[in-house]
Amino acid sequence: MATFTITLHSRDPEQPNLHKVSVATEGELPEYGQVWVWDLLYARQLFAMGDTQIAHELKETLELWAVNMSSKVFQPHGHILAKGYLDLSEDLELVTDDNARPAAADDDREIVVHVSGQAGQLPDISVEPDGLAAAERRALVLGLAQHFNFENPMFARELPIHVLAMRKYHADINPPHSQEAKEEAPFFAIQKAMEYFQAANQGTVQ
């Protein structure tokens, strides 16, 4: 269906705290399927990272952003993009201009996300290579979300609701590093987001 190659560029000594990433896409993934793919990726990377500080930091980064964005989800995409509201993290920058792409370096890291499945059905994903460091998993989750956020107004509108739904799942049902959360949290997020937007369309969201 689609393949996403996320390049984690080597850090610039002049900006050691900034991680630049770029994303290349092959194939097609329907716009409505992008948030499903990201939900699966997020849940699986949290599981792989375990009960660690960097996993907690990733959750905090996304959840703080989602809380701030949740009141803006119905604003025009161009407006929230221009305002910088779609930027997920101050220490990660998505390189979207080929002319601004850092020169290739030996310690660049490429991570490939393969998406398979039939249109209209929940997709499946696989990530290569398997043995990623926790910091790489964090950059992968944020980098792909940032890419979709910039490119797809539907994803940008839905992402905050999905993140907050997962927060509720992790708080009330199973912790993010559990096998149950890895399998169940994405479906919980999809269901809660559907309920939210159905209520919004009916004018019953509080």
- Residue 197 and residue 160: Cα distance in Å, rounded? 12
- Is the pLDDT at 204 greater than 60? The verdict is no
Strand blocks (E) in the chain: 2-8, 19-27, 92-94, 109-116, 124-128
Whether residue 206 lies inside any domain: the answer is: no
CA-atom Rg of the chain in angstroms: 16
Q: Is the pLDDT of residue 140 over 80?
A: yes
Containing structural domain, residue 142: 2-200
- Element spanning 120, H or E: none
What Cα–Cα distance (Å) separates residue 192 from each residue in 111, 140, 195?
30, 24, 5
In the structure encoding, which two tokens stand for residue 68, read together? Answer: 């701030």
Contact 161, 193 (CB under 8 A): yes
Number of domains in the chain: 1
Q: Which of 97-101, 156-160, 161-165, 197-201 has the lowest average pLDDT?
A: 97-101
Q: Is residue 43 included in any domain, yes or no?
A: yes
Query: What average pLDDT does range 65-77 have in this prediction?
Result: 92
Phi (first) and psi of residue 144, to 5 degrees: -70, -40
